[in-house]
């Protein structure tokens, strides 16, 4: 016969249970994306068409410790989106890393690509990547690294899944052999870096790898879905991993960090948040938010000095992506967000008819503002003074 359990034992058991079992935490993205703002609802009311994926990271500081809380909305590494220029971010970091491993050259070494007419430096090309998302700058660093080296270095650091396979916006984008770099050792002496032969990419097998109802091949409309199977693959998870390792290297094991010096990292951070006007681009076309979609992308006025956005955007084939660490030094606010969405109402690719300005960028800007306001209101009793 079972003994009756004393009531005080039951009370103690319930108390312990209540203390150790926290109620399920609400995903803040659920609140933000439920906003009545039409810039948000335009996407949320047609989620299937827009293929939205978002990862948001709250950053908690306690004394010298930092910990992250990640929240996802529809993030799926197996759901393909075209990463466009976001792939320039890891290539810029890996170029700095390779410079550390190559004798007699630095980021200020002058070089040119065989057959190219532009003489430049690694510093200049990295600056162009972040200031105005220059395709030619990415392609020059791609020749320096080679696809095999890019992918192997990322995987060795635990950054996956990822597949960088081609250059951007050139006829020979997928050529597996890189072009030689001609380096100036001084004003009159040059040397060359040999080309590399890389592995040809295999066709990706992912959800959404074919999209739309047609695409233009030259002037001819092909009435079938566009196949992204041989394109670059850089999903939300991998983008966020690269960003975290650059902004918070101390949070990772040495084997997972990028092998760059403090001087190189300081240069990289400064370059990532530099506005076009501060990088020498003074045309009216290069306003502050030219490549800063979150918070300011739908506005052309100056970004306040106390708000720094360390990011890399991408837009092509109707897909918009931004991966950013946002820091407000005045109000002591910081968070990370990576988001991607498709804006291609007619379902045709390569026709240059995409709703970037009408729908896509306004959504990302409002998403950034909603997250910022939420973080501004959130009590941060654990939040010490922010230092990068």
When computed from its CA atoms, the radius of gyration of the chain, rounded to whole angstroms, is: 23
Q: Are 152 and 163 in contact (CB under 8 A)?
A: no
Q: Helix, strand, or coil here: 297?
A: coil
The per-residue pLDDT for range 224-259, each reduced to its tens digit, is: 999 999 999 999 999 999 999 999 999 999 999 999
Pairing of strands 348-349, 214-217: parallel
Residue 171 has what pLDDT? 95
Which pTM value belongs to this model?
0.92
Does residue 183 contact residue 190 with C-beta atoms inside 8 Å?
yes
- Whether residue 246 contacts residue 265, with contact meaning beta carbons closer than 8 Å, is answered with yes
Encode pLDDT of 34-69 as tens digits. Answer: 999 999 999 999 999 999 999 999 999 888 889 999
pLDDT at 188: 87
Percent of the chain with pLDDT over 90: 87
Euclidean distance between CA atoms 85 and 293, whole angstroms:
13
**Which is more confidently placed, 298 or 7?**
298
Contact 191, 183 (CB under 8 A): yes
- Over the stretch 333-353, which tens digit does the pLDDT of each residue have? 999 999 999 999 999 999 999
Predicted confidence at residue 195, as pLDDT, reads 96
- pLDDT of residue 23 exceeding 70, the answer is no
**Which residues have CB under 8 Å from 95's CB, separation 6+?**
122, 125, 126, 141, 144, 145
Helix, strand, coil proportions of the chain in percent (round to 5)? 35, 20, 45
pLDDT band at 20 (very low <50, low <70, confident <90, very high): very low
Q: Residue 312: what pLDDT?
A: 98
For the sheet with 348-349, list strands across it. Answer: 220-222, 214-217, 348-349
Burial of 351 (0-12, 13-18, 19+ CB in 10 A): middle
- Which value, to the nearest 10 degrees, does the dihedral of the CA atoms of residues 352, 353, 357, 358 take? 180
Which residue's structure tokens are 């600056």? 127
Contact 57, 337 (CB under 8 A): yes
pLDDT value for 9:
40
Written as six digits, the tokens of 87 are 């792939």
SS3 (DSSP) at 256:
helix
Residues 358-363, mean pLDDT to the nearest whole number: 98
CA 40 to CA 22: how far, in whole Å? 31
Per DSSP, the chain holds a count of helices (H) and strands (E) of 11, 14
Per-residue model confidence as pLDDT tens digits over 264-319: 999 999 999 999 999 999 888 999 999 999 999 999 999 999 999 999 999 999 99
- Dist CA 235 CA 227 (whole Å): 17
């Amino acid at each position: 016969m079972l003994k009756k359990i004393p009531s005080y034992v039951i009370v103690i058991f319930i108390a312990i249970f209540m203390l150790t079992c926290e109620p399920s935490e609400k995903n803040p993205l659920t609140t933000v994306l439920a906003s009545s703002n039409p810039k948000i609802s335009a996407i949320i009311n047609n989620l299937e068409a827009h293929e939205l994926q978002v990862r948001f990271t709250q950053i908690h500081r306690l004394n010298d410790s930092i910990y992250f809380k990640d929240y996802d909305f529809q993030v799926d590494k197996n759901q393909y989106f075209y990463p466009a220029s976001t792939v320039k971010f890891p290539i810029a970091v890996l170029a700095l890393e390779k410079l550390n491993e190559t004798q007699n050259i630095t980021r200020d070494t002058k070089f040119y690509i065989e057959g190219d007419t532009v003489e430049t430096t690694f510093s200049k090309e990295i600056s162009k990547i972040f200031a105005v998302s220059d395709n030619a700058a990415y392609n020059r660093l791609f020749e320096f690294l080679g696809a095999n080296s890019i992918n192997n270095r990322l995987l060795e650091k635990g950054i996956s899944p990822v597949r960088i396979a081609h250059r951007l916006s050139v006829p020979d984008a997928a050529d597996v052999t890189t072009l030689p770099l001609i380096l100036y050792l001084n004003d009159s002496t040059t040397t060359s870096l040999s080309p590399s032969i890389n592995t040809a990419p295999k066709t990706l097998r992912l959800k959404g790898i074919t999209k739309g109802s047609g695409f233009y091949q030259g002037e001819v409309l092909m009435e079938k879905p566009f196949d992204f199977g041989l394109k670059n693959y850089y999903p939300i998870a991998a983008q966020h991993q690269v960003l975290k390792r650059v902004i918070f290297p101390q949070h990772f094991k040495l084997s997972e960090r990028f092998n760059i010096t403090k001087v190189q990292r300081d240069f990289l951070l400064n370059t990532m948040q530099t506005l076009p006007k501060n990088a020498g681009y003074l045309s009216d076309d290069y306003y502050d938010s030219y490549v800063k979609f979150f918070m300011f992308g739908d506005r052309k006025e100056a970004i306040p000095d106390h708000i720094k956005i360390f990011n890399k955007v991408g837009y092509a084939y109707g897909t918009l992506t931004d991966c950013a660490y946002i820091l407000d030094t005045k109000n002591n606010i910081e968070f990370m967000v990576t988001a991607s969405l498709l804006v291609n109402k007619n379902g045709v690719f390569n026709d240059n008819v995409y709703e970037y300005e009408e729908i896509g960028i306004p959504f990302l800007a409002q998403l950034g503002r909603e997250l910022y306001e939420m973080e501004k209101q959130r009590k941060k009793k654990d939040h010490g003074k922010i230092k990068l």
